[in-house]
Copies of this chain bind each other. A is one copy, B any other.
Amino acid sequence: MNDRIREILSWYGSENPGVRTNLARMLNHGRLAGTGKLVILPVDQGFEHGPARSFAPNPAGYDPRYHFQLAIDAGCNAYAAPLGFLEAGAADFAGEIPLILKCNNHDILNDERDPISAVTAGVDDALRLGCVAVGFTIYPGSSERTEMYQQLRDLILEAKTAGLAVVVWSYPRGSALSKEGETAVDVVAYAAQIAAQLGADIIKVKLPSEKVELPEAQKVYQKYEIPISTLADRVKHVVQSSFNGRRIVIFSGGATSADEQVFTEARAIRDGGGFGSIMGRNSFQRKKEDAEKFLGTIMGIYEGSVK
């Protein structure tokens, strides 16, 4: 356990040793072990977008074992997926990679304006599958958010009691927000704050744009001249909004993008003090050797071996 990891764990002083042990397992796994940075492979697109849209670009991904192996070979800190995908490999890859059980999911066969994900797994499942953490998505801005926060609160209590860490995907959506507002910097910072206040150990948000959505917030950003013009500025603001950097906050890559753009974003995350990336479609939708190289570059940026 190096000093940086000890420092990070010190922020989680109210968690029991079980939770801190599982946080350490992620922080000390893979190529970025001990750096305090994380690159996590999430594969819930099969549920969220359907199998063909997710796996046709790289059909090896239809097989659930593929993603375990990719996460292992690329040196990720952890692999996150819904119940079925984890069940289909947890026994074969037992102990090889920290697992995060995604406990709620949403499909788009009926895509509502104010979404709520279905609770599809829980702490009992995470324990029987040997996971280090549970994951849960909330949609701040949805009229269903109260229900989601309460489901998350129940999950958090049960998970922490069982010594599992909690990863929260905090994705603003819903009728109260404009489409662009979903990634507005004030909204993303607010979403990070909500997740932190709800008790998340690790927070996952989208990369914020320069837009400010809420008029009341806009006054404050102007009055106090909060720097938001560069992506690194905005990452820094989100990190600050996550308990002044005392909660691990990582950023999602979104849809497939040009590699250079992703690397530029990774540099901004690094420069803004972010803790890393959660990188799904950009990873598993290309051939395995390409994905390993691609993820290797990102990890290099985080560890400093790549500029």
Contact = CB atoms under 8 A, between A and B. Distances in A.
Interface of A: 11, 13-15, 46-47, 49-53, 56-57, 59, 62-64, 82-92, 105, 107-112, 116-122, 124-125, 128-129, 140-143, 145-147, 149-150, 153, 157, 161, 172, 174-177, 186-187, 189-194, 196-200, 214, 216-217, 220-221, 223-224, 226, 237, 240-241, 243-244, 246-247
Contacts of A143: 110, 112
A84 B46 contact: no
Nearest to A199: B83
B109 A197 contact: no
How many copies of this chain does one complex carry?
5
Contact of A50 (B128, B200, B214): B214
- Which of A161, A176, A223, A241 has its CB near the most chain B CB atoms (within 10 A)? A241
Contacts of A237: 52
B120 A197 contact: yes
Contact of A52 (B111, B118, B140, B189): B189
B194 A141 contact: no
A146 B172 contact: no
A82 B141 CA distance: 19
B118 A47 contact: no
A57 B221 CA distance: 10
Contact of A241 (B13, B49, B62): B62
Contact of A157 (B107, B122, B247): B122
Contacts of A117: 146
A59 B141 contact: no
Given A82-B197, A243-B62, A217 B50 contact: yes
A120 B149 contact: yes
Contacts of A86: 14
A191 B52 CA distance: 12
A220 B56 contact: yes
Query: 10 tightest A-B contacts by CB?
Result: A13-B91, A118-B149, A84-B197, A63-B244, A110-B176, A51-B241, A50-B190, A62-B244, A56-B224, A14-B87
A253 B112 CA distance: 32
A121 B57 contact: no
B121 A153 contact: yes
Contact of A91 (B14, B146, B240): B14
Contacts of A172: 109
A57 to B, nearest CB: 7
A193 B145 contact: no
A174 B83 CA distance: 25
26 contacts: A14-B91, A50-B186, A52-B224, A56-B220, A56-B224, A57-B220, A84-B196, A84-B200, A84-B243, A85-B243, A105-B149, A107-B140, A109-B140, A109-B174, A109-B214, A110-B140, A110-B174, A112-B143, A117-B146, A118-B146, A118-B153, A119-B153, A120-B149, A120-B199, A121-B153, A121-B199
